[in-house]
Structure 1
Amino acid sequence: MSKIIRKKICILNTGGTILARSDKNDDQNGCENGDENGYEAGGLEFLDVFGSILEQFKPDTKKSKKDHFVFADFSLDIITPFSIGSQDMDNAHLLHLGKEAIKASKKYDFIIITHGSDTLEESAFFLSLLKEIKIGVILTASMYPPNDKNYDGTANLEFALKSALKSDIKSVRVAMNGELLEPKKLIKFKSWGKDAFCQSLAFDIGILDFKPFSLPKALPKVAVIYADGQFYPSLYNLKSLKGVVLAGMGSGTLPKNAIKFFSKLKIPVVRSSRVAMSKITSKEVNDKKYGFINANHLSPAKAKVLLMLALSKKSKDIAKYFENF
């Protein structure tokens, strides 16, 4: 009798609205930290919410046990590295997630990650740049908590699981609202609604397969600074930073006194835009003249991720990484 070959899938559960705990019914729009709507992001156990999804695949009860399930054509392990609202996904958590994903990629055929929606873009982009991850990874989230009548977590996780079973992709994707989205193009353009995520139309090329980094031991301290027409240089003491990302206006424009202030810094300064679908041009701000790095189509949040990884590699030409976007 031939041995059954099952696809080995791992779910890394990191919390978020998709597993939010609430003590009351709430039909309001989802918000991840739960302060207004009275829920705790990541407060529920995975199986309490998603046990019914696994049941539809008919697990072999004799071979399955807590957090490990065996089905006809795949096996599934559920691992919880941490459970938080993703607004608290700091550098330490990001590195922890990277380590867990790399470790899982050596043991499993596919990884699914449940995550909060607030920083889903950053985490997905971060993982997509790590060359140690050579298997398919799908991140998913929800825009509403489990007690909300609009809860989308069940549909999103089921779509992610079915996509993992039938897909042969070897890169990172985000599963939201019935779509598989590419991290580098991913935008959360609304703070509510099942259709809150889309892919930026600013990118005029196909899939961006660009994985130049190994997971670093630490991430350098980089800040994002939001720009408007009134800039106060006296507010900023940036001595402890290793890099800065500017969320400029329009195509990355900045007030004249901001240009003067940031051009004097001895650390890398990346110029991006607060616009959802941006293209940074040098028509009004000459990057070469002022020593800035052009973020091209990357949002400030993703530009920060790329800058941290580039700095951790101690590259002498950080701008070359941004040129790929």
Structure 2
Amino acid sequence: MTAKLTVLATGGTIAGIAGSAIASDYDAGQIAIEDYLQDVAGLGLAAELSAQQIANIDSADIGQPVWNALHRATLAALNDPECQGIIITHGTDTLEETAFLLDLTLPASKPVVMVGAMRPADAVGYDGLRNFANAVRVAGDGDAAGRGVLVVMGDRIFGARDVRKVRTRGTEAFRGFPRESVGLVTPSSLEWFGAPWRLGAGPQFDWAENLPEVAIVAAYSGLGAEAMARCIGPHTRGIVVAGVGEGNMPEAVRRELARRCGQGLQVVRASRADEGMVDAEPDDAANGFVASRALTPAKARILLQLLIASGQSDRAAIQRVFNGH
């Protein structure tokens, strides 16, 4: 059976060109999606693909304007009765952030699958076409609905909450935490590791056209309160501390942030470690801090932005939302 799928393209390495099969550098976002689908047509995939170019840029440059356009296009595809699933091509550097943002703001009614590549299209061992073929298989599978936004990379399927980029090179660059992959896929096979967990679920947050400013500050040996304070501008509504260990920070920084919390700043403790939980501590309530649990600093930032945009300011209520992620 041929699935009718919508492809929304944003650029990235999957659409990148190096100019040499063995070059070490390349330009992301060089191939238009219509041209890319001409190459895809030769794979013989069981899908009818329609495409829209949202952007064609390096994912390091993706921000609110592209997110706004991408969200609108994805929501339109979800509401199109002819569309059975959506594929979003995206650069890998910020793929996990876009995936998590869309996961929190879209219904889980149809498959939404994000995909990228670690090597440009003219490189030896280009992984983009295989990843795309895998994404087509997932997006065309009815059991992919009810799982929120999914990421397909390296023959694995990840949930948006869990996925994170852990390597700068090689095609096995993504991992999941606390759940590893939620399924395995090849162009000819698909295996899920469990039942859908969001069947019938709507978006958890309304879309915000202008997300509030939330900064991420990395903790390190010798970080002082003044250096940290310089990261807080006049429009900064929140701070995520990429803390050492389980979200820890120097005492002087803690005192300064606790003072700022008393003035209305929202502060989330996360960890700069690749894997690990940051649980609430007894002092968090007194300090006014929130613990990120399993979320990376980048994802904690997005969740905090959405909470602030929704009007939430109560620390305990914010902590309960983080506990659920």
For the residue of structure 2 that corresponds to 1:78, the secondary structure is strand
Q: Within the alignment, does 1:185 sit opposite 2:192 as a pair?
A: no
For the residue of structure 1 that corresponds to 2:96, the secondary structure is helix
- The size of the alignment, in residue pairs, is 296
Q: Which residue of 2 aligns with 1:318?
A: 318
Letter aligned with residue 10 of structure 2:
T
For the residue of structure 1 that corresponds to 2:278, the secondary structure is coil
Alignment match of 1:89 (pick from 52, 62, 79) = 62
Offset of residue 152 of structure 1: 0.5
Q: Which residue of 2 aligns with 1:121?
A: 96
Alignment match of 1:242 (pick from 211, 234, 237) = 237
Equivalences for 1:142-161 in 2 at 5 Å?
142-161=117-136
Alignment match of 1:226 (pick from 215, 218, 229) = 218
Q: Within 2, Cα distance between the matches of 1:208 and 1:185?
A: 14
Change beyond 3 A, Cα 1:257–1:226: same
Alignment match of 2:53 (pick from 63, 68, 80) = 80
Offset of residue 184 of structure 1: 0.5
Q: Which residue of 2 aligns with 1:255?
A: 250
Q: Which residue of 2 aligns with 1:135?
A: 110
For the residue of structure 2 that corresponds to 1:144, the secondary structure is coil
Letter aligned with residue 234 of structure 1:
E
Alignment match of 1:12 (pick from 8, 18, 37) = 8
Offset of residue 288 of structure 1: 1.1
Offset of residue 132 of structure 1: 4.0
Letter aligned with residue 267 of structure 1:
L
In percent, how many aligned pairs have the same letter? 27
Q: Within 1, Cα distance between the matches of 2:269 and 2:58?
A: 29
Q: Within the alignment, does 1:45 sit opposite 2:32 as a pair?
A: yes
Offset of residue 16 of structure 1: 0.1
Letter aligned with residue 26 of structure 1:
I
Q: Is the 8 A contact 2:84 2:140 kept in 1?
A: no
Offset of residue 162 of structure 1: 1.7
Runs of 4+ in 1 over 3 A off after TM superposition: 47-50, 205-211
Q: Is the 8 A contact 1:186 1:197 kept in 2?
A: yes
Q: Within 1, Cα distance between the matches of 2:12 and 2:271?
A: 27
Q: Is the 8 A contact 1:160 1:175 kept in 2?
A: yes
Q: Which residue of 2 aligns with 1:172?
A: 149
Q: Which residue of 2 aligns with 1:25?
A: 21
Q: Within 1, Cα distance between the matches of 2:51 and 2:179?
A: 36
Q: Is the 8 A contact 2:112 2:149 kept in 1?
A: yes
Q: Is the 8 A contact 1:101 1:133 kept in 2?
A: no
Offset of residue 222 of structure 1: 0.7
Moved more, 304-313 or 274-283: 274-283
For the residue of structure 1 that corresponds to 2:305, the secondary structure is helix
Q: Within 2, Cα distance between the matches of 1:320 and 1:217?
A: 25
For the residue of structure 1 that corresponds to 2:91, the secondary structure is coil
Q: Which residue of 1 aligns with 2:185?
A: none
For the residue of structure 2 that corresponds to 1:48, the secondary structure is helix
Q: Which residue of 2 aligns with 1:61?
A: none
For the residue of structure 2 that corresponds to 1:94, the secondary structure is helix
Letter aligned with residue 7 of structure 1:
A
Letter aligned with residue 42 of structure 2:
E
Offset of residue 94 of structure 1: 2.0
Q: Alpha-carbon deviations, 1:6-26, whole Å to 9, x = none?
A: 632100010000001233333
Offset of residue 50 of structure 1: 4.2
Q: Alpha-carbon deviations, 1:5-46, whole Å to 9, x = none?
A: 963210001000000123333353xxxxxxxx1x22111123
TM-score by length of 2: 0.84
Q: Which residue of 1 aligns with 2:278?
A: 280
Offset of residue 109 of structure 1: 1.7
Offset of residue 165 of structure 1: 2.1
